[in-house]
Amino acid sequence: MAQVLIFLASGYEEVEMLTVVDLLRRSSIDIDMVSITDSLEVTSSHNVTIKADVLLKDADFDSAQMIVLPGGIPGTPNLLACKPLTDQIKKFAKEGKWLSAICAAPTIYGELGVYQGCKATCYPDFAEKLKDAVYVKQPVVVDGIFTTSRGAGTTIEFAAAIIERFKDKQTADTILQKIIFNDTYE
């Protein structure tokens, strides 16, 4: 029973997906990589193939507390085209469960009309697609049920914001300290 579900569509951005998975697992937050394709193996926008933990049909949405959407092209449009996923996103929004996305993927929440005036960010070229959101030009924006981020270069900060939601700021800072300034390599 994963607390977080992160979704892999053909053409996802692997840095945005793997960094989140890695840092959440280091923080003892259960996260499942979920394939929206018919195969557990999903290929990224840069031709890196990753084996997901589960297929969409087997994902435990009832136990999950957060959905995370990595960006990437054509990954983002492929996620938006997946009706079973978009139905779950709408359900999460209605129930007040957490929704997170990075790069182009925050536009999916805009397309689905679930922002309702919340602040959000995304890759700058897609800002006009954040329908019903107030676009904020920051690396990471946390507002209400949403955690959004600008792109691959902000992925560590994005993952830290998610960790902080589940744990606390100290835990997030400790994980960042360990991966960035690990003193054991001296």
Q: Is the pTM of this model over 0.85?
A: yes
Which domain CATH number covers 75? 3.40.50.880
Q: What is the pLDDT of residues 61-109, one digit of tens each?
A: 999 999 999 999 999 999 999 999 999 999 999 999 999 999 999 999 9
- If one counts the domains in the chain, the total is 1
Please give the residue range of the domain that contains residue 19.
4-185
Burial class (CB in 10 A: 0-12, 13-18, 19+), 83: exposed
Q: What is the pLDDT of residues 133-150, one digit of tens each?
A: 999 999 999 999 999 999
Cα–Cα–Cα angle for 1, 143, 17, nearest 5°? 45
